[in-house]
């Protein structure tokens, strides 16, 4: 099965220069393709409308509050993006990524000779994966926003396709170096790959001042997989919540990461200080103080992100190593995110990431995941007598069943209902 594995890498100065150059080349290529697409479609009325929303000042006479103006602008952009998406779907618009690559290849020797300084993958995959992927996400089911131009320093990355490279040695287990085409010395990694198997691709990325290699690997898995469900104790229902990160049907409650709140003050102070250092003149070169402060802010963001990830990894590892059948709700995350009160909590809980980890870890331990239908009323069904209590409000954390009199903790009740679904599916 395909797995992702992210490992920190430690480039020396010379290697770091190469990595930065490769990121820059990938970014330039992506922006080149996006710009070309926009030029080719400049007559599309929907694209013109979208571009207008980018530029329009929705607060021309300062009569609206800043907050309202921001909200209006966001709404206008969403509307324009919706219209463009519909038009593209109707026209069956496809990105001819092969054509773009061919064209760039034909001009790069003359126009962009510096592209040859780094691996050709950085150029090719910026179009093949990033650029065409951005449009796939835009017109696809997830309905992401219209692709934006990439900025320097924001999500710097490039990708290497190892299926296209045949002269590289197999990546051996226990070998903690990464070899990049036309980079002299191999890159040192913090650890060796934890899986053996065929490596398809590696994405090199930078976060604050740290570099990472994310492997996509077709891993060969050990044979110690679970088989079926022979014991009731092996089945668990997991209710992902707003108050706690997760509540299990055995009554255990897992709190989410407190990092966001814990670092909120520190982040605010440092961001304020960053704003003060930004400089007043247009196009003024950023000061050393500014750059140092910017890195400091990035480091705090990173701390928060890691604390969240850590909580999730512990939860998903414990679930998949202790239970054979795990039932969760197939949450309508998009619908929930549009509810702003819930949005912050959900972003914290990182449900997407939870589901992703759970599925890949389950496939390694052999646990089965049951996704309950998103319309299954897990919270408002009595887990004792199955009566549905339609009047349940979000604020009610405890409720009493009118039919059988059972008193329920909202989240535990939901988890027990999920466990019941898992049992009925597997016994
Ligand atoms: Zn009841």
Q: Is the domain of 247 the same as that of 195?
A: no
Look up the domain containing 148 and give its range: 2-219
Q: Is the domain of 256 the same as that of 157?
A: no
Q: Is the domain of 82 the same as that of 211?
A: yes
Structure tokens at 397: 């954390």
**What residues pair up with 237 in beta bridges, in sequence order?**
327
Answer yes or no: is 200 within a domain.
yes
CA 381–ligand 1 middle distance (angstroms)? 8
Give the pLDDT score at 103.
Answer: 95
Using the 3D structure, point to which of 219, 252, 285 is the last residue of a domain: 219
**Mean pLDDT along residues 176-182:** 82
Instruction: For residue 332, name the pLDDT band (cuts at 50, 70, 90).
Output: low
CA 374–ligand 1 middle distance (angstroms)? 22
Using the 3D structure, point to which of 191, 219, 247 is the last residue of a domain: 219
CA 352–ligand 1 middle distance (angstroms)? 32
CA 174–ligand 1 middle distance (angstroms)? 56
SS (H, E, C) 114-168: HHHHCCHHHHHHHHHHHHHHHHHHHHCCCCCCCCCCCCCCCCCEEEEECCCCCCC
Which one is predicted more confidently, 205 or 5? 205
Answer yes or no: is 66 within a domain.
yes
Answer yes or no: is 197 within a domain.
yes
Q: Is the domain of 312 the same as that of 420?
A: yes
Are 5 and 223 within 8 A, CB to CB? no
Q: Please state whether beta strands 253-254 and 246-248 pair in parallel, antiparallel, or not at all (unpaired).
A: antiparallel
Give the pLDDT score at 64.
Answer: 75
**pLDDT of 258 higher than 50:** yes
**Mean pLDDT along residues 292-298:** 91
Least confident of 58-62, 297-301, 355-359: 58-62
Report the percent of the chain where pLDDT is more than 90: 38
Which one is predicted more confidently, 182 or 26? 26
CA 34 to chain centroid, in Å, comes to 22
State the total domains in the chain: 2
Give the pLDDT score at 229.
Answer: 47
Answer yes or no: is 227 within a domain.
no
Structure tokens at 335: 């619908």
CA 402–ligand 1 middle distance (angstroms)? 7
CA 393–ligand 1 middle distance (angstroms)? 17
Q: Is the domain of 37 the same as that of 177?
A: yes
The alpha carbon torsion through 101, 103, 105, 110 (nearest 10 deg) reads: -150
Cβ count near 61 (within 10 Å):
6
Q: Which among 162-171, 187-196, 404-413 has the top mean pLDDT?
A: 404-413
Location of structure tokens 């979000």: 394
CA 326–ligand 1 middle distance (angstroms)? 24
Q: Which residues contact 174 (CB under 8 A, 6 or more apart)?
A: 192
Q: Is the domain of 66 the same as that of 153?
A: yes
Give the Cα separation of 57 and 70 in Å (integer). Answer: 9
Give the Cα separation of 427 and 423 in Å (integer). Answer: 6
Which one is predicted more confidently, 187 or 182? 187
CA 407–ligand 1 middle distance (angstroms)? 8
**pLDDT of 162 higher than 70:** yes
Give the Cα separation of 184 and 88 in Å (integer). Answer: 45
Give the pLDDT score at 222.
Answer: 56
Q: Is the domain of 193 the same as that of 278?
A: no
CA 376–ligand 1 middle distance (angstroms)? 17
**pLDDT of 224 higher than 60:** no
* pLDDT, the chain, mean: 84
Q: Is the domain of 191 the same as that of 283?
A: no
**Mean pLDDT along residues 249-268:** 87
- Terminal CA-CA length for the chain: 27
Nearest CA to 234 out of 330, 366, 363 is that of 366
Structure tokens at 318: 């414990």
**pLDDT of 17 higher than 80:** yes
Instruction: For residue 233, name the pLDDT band (cuts at 50, 70, 90).
Output: low
Least confident of 168-172, 247-251, 314-318, 415-419: 168-172
CA 327–ligand 1 middle distance (angstroms)? 21
Give the Cα separation of 365 and 343 in Å (integer). Answer: 32
Give the pLDDT score at 165.
Answer: 59
**Helical (H) or strand (E) element with 81:** helix 66-90
Give the pLDDT score at 167.
Answer: 47
Instruction: For residue 284, name the pLDDT band (cuts at 50, 70, 90).
Output: confident
CA 332–ligand 1 middle distance (angstroms)? 27
Residue 326: which CATH number?
A: 3.30.420
Answer yes or no: is 226 within a domain.
no
**pLDDT of 36 higher than 90:** yes
372-376: Cβ within 8 A, 24+ apart: 372/327, 372/328, 372/329, 372/330, 372/418, 372/421, 373/330, 374/329, 374/330, 374/331, 374/332, 376/329, 376/417, 376/421
Q: Is the domain of 17 the same as that of 92?
A: yes
**pLDDT of 297 higher than 50:** yes
**Mean pLDDT along residues 100-123:** 93
Structure tokens at 154: 């924001």
Q: Is the domain of 71 the same as that of 101?
A: yes
**pLDDT of 6 higher than 70:** yes
Instruction: For residue 110, name the pLDDT band (cuts at 50, 70, 90).
Output: very high
CA 113–ligand 1 middle distance (angstroms)? 73
**Mean pLDDT along residues 393-417:** 89
Give, in order, the Cα–Cα distances in Å from 79 to each of 43, 50, 70: 19, 8, 14
Answer yes or no: is 62 within a domain.
yes
Give the pLDDT score at 261.
Answer: 83
Answer yes or no: is 370 within a domain.
yes
Least confident of 111-125, 126-140, 190-204, 325-339: 325-339
Q: Is the domain of 237 the same as that of 380?
A: yes
Answer yes or no: is 225 within a domain.
no
Give the pLDDT score at 174.
Answer: 67
Q: Is the domain of 320 the same as that of 403?
A: yes
Give the pLDDT score at 40.
Answer: 94
Instruction: For residue 84, name the pLDDT band (cuts at 50, 70, 90).
Output: very high
Residues with CB under 5 A from ligand 1 (ion): 382, 384-385, 387, 401, 403-404, 406
Q: Which among 146-150, 199-203, 284-288, 303-307 has the top mean pLDDT?
A: 146-150
CA 377–ligand 1 middle distance (angstroms)? 14
Using the 3D structure, point to which of 176, 192, 219 is the last residue of a domain: 219
Which one is predicted more confidently, 240 or 228? 240
Give the Cα separation of 208 and 270 in Å (integer). Answer: 15
Structure tokens at 264: 């909120």
CA 235–ligand 1 middle distance (angstroms)? 22
**Mean pLDDT along residues 30-38:** 96
């Amino acid at each position: 099965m395909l797995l992702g594995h992210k490992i920190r890498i430690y480039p020396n100065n010379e290697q770091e220069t190469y990595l930065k150059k490769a990121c820059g080349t990938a970014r330039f290529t992506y922006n080149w393709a996006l710009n070309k697409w926009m030029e080719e479609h400049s007559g599309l009325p929907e694209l013109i409308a979208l571009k207008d929303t980018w530029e329009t000042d929705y607060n021309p006479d300062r009569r609206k509050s800043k907050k309202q103006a921001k909200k209006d602008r966001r709404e206008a952009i969403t509307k324009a993006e919706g219209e463009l998406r519909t038009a593209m779907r109707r026209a069956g618009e496809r990105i001819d990524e092969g054509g773009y690559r061919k064209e760039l290849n034909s001009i790069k020797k003359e126009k962009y000779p510096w592209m040859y300084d780094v691996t050709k993958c950085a150029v090719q995959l910026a179009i093949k994966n990033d650029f065409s992927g951005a449009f796939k996400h835009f017109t696809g089911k997830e309905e992401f926003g219209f692709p934006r131009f990439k900025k320097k320093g924001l999500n710097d990355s490039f990708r290497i396709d190892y299926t296209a490279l045949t002269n590289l040695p197999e990546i051996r287990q226990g070998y903690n170096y990464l070899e990049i085409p036309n980079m002299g010395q191999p890159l040192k990694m913090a650890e060796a790959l934890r899986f053996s198997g065929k490596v398809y691709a590696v994405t090199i990325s930078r976060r604050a001042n740290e570099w990472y290699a994310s492997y996509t690997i077709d891993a060969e898995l050990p044979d110690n997989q679970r088989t079926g469900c022979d014991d009731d104790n092996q089945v668990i229902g997991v209710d992902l919540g707003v108050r706690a990160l997760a509540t299990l049907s055995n009554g255990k409650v897992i709190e989410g990461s407190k990092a966001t709140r814990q670092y909120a003050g520190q982040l605010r102070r440092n961001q304020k200080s960053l704003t003060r250092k930004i400089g007043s003149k247009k196009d003024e070169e950023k000061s050393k103080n500014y750059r140092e402060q910017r890195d400091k802010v990035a480091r705090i963001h990173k701390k928060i992100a890691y604390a969240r990830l850590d909580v999730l990894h512990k939860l998903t590892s414990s679930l998949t190593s202790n239970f054979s059948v795990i039932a969760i709700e197939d949450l309508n995350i998009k619908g929930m995110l549009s509810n702003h009160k819930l949005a912050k909590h959900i972003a914290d809980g990182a449900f997407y990431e939870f589901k992703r980890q759970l599925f890949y870890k389950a496939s390694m331990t052999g646990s089965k995941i049951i996704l309950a239908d998103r319309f299954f009323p897990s919270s408002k069904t009595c887990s004792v007598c199955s009566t549905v209590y339609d009047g349940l409000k979000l604020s009610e954390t405890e409720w009493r069943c009118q039919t059988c009199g059972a008193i329920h903790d909202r989240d535990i009740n939901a988890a027990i209902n999920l466990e019941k679904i898992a049992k009925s599916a597997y016994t």
